[in-house]
Amino acid sequence: MIIKLKNKDTLICDDFEFKCSIGKNGLKKNKIEGDNCTPKGTFSLGPVYYRGDRIAKPDTELKTIKIQKKLGWCDDPKNIRYNKKIKLNKQNKGEKFFRKDKIYDIIIIIGYNTKKIIKNKGSAIFIHVTNNYKHTRGCIALSLNDLEILLKIIKRNSKIKIT
């Protein structure tokens, strides 16, 4: 199953169309760290991280992981854990998953630059929650309800195509 980004504000999966937002500076084939662009390409999905203290475990075929207070994602190209899950502390700084604003109540990891990681090519690209459809720093954002629907219909081997 392929999820497609259409017109920069619509995500299509099966017969469903979801309103979404993308990176502030649009789409880019040759993404670099901090450019606020959503990367173009076809990418794998998963796992799914969720705030168990706020929402129930998502109904999905993808692997799910409950977010703990110190859980985050490394966005520092100088760190050996660049573009990987990390435990946040003084040495490891990065994208904090346990947030007050609820945008990371559910996160689907987009497999961009996650296999053969290239420093400065971009990190922390997710599908996450939005409350207002404002532009992201490179992720794709959906309403909580739409993200929960998407999780129910995608399969373990689903991919996202961003063009």
Question: Which fold does the domain 2-162 belong to in CATH?
Answer: L,D-transpeptidase catalytic domain-like (2.40.440)
Give per-residue pLDDT as tens, 11-20. Answer: 999 999 999 9
pLDDT in the model for residue 54:
97
9 DSSP 8-state letter:
T
pLDDT at 58 over 90: yes
Give per-residue pLDDT as tens, 86-120. Answer: 999 888 889 999 999 999 999 999 999 999 999 99
Global pTM value:
0.96
Pair 9, 24: CB distance under 8 Å:
no
- Mean of the per-residue pLDDT values of the chain: 96
For 50-88, letters b (16+ CB in 10 Å) and e give bbeeeeeebebebebbebeeebbbbbbbebebbbeebeb
Give per-residue pLDDT as tens, 31-47. Answer: 999 999 999 999 999 89
Strands 27-28 and 38-39: parallel
Q: What does the domain layout of the chain look like in residue ranges?
A: 2-162
Which sign does the torsion angle of CA 156, 138, 106, 82 carry? positive
Pair 83, 113: CB distance under 8 Å:
yes
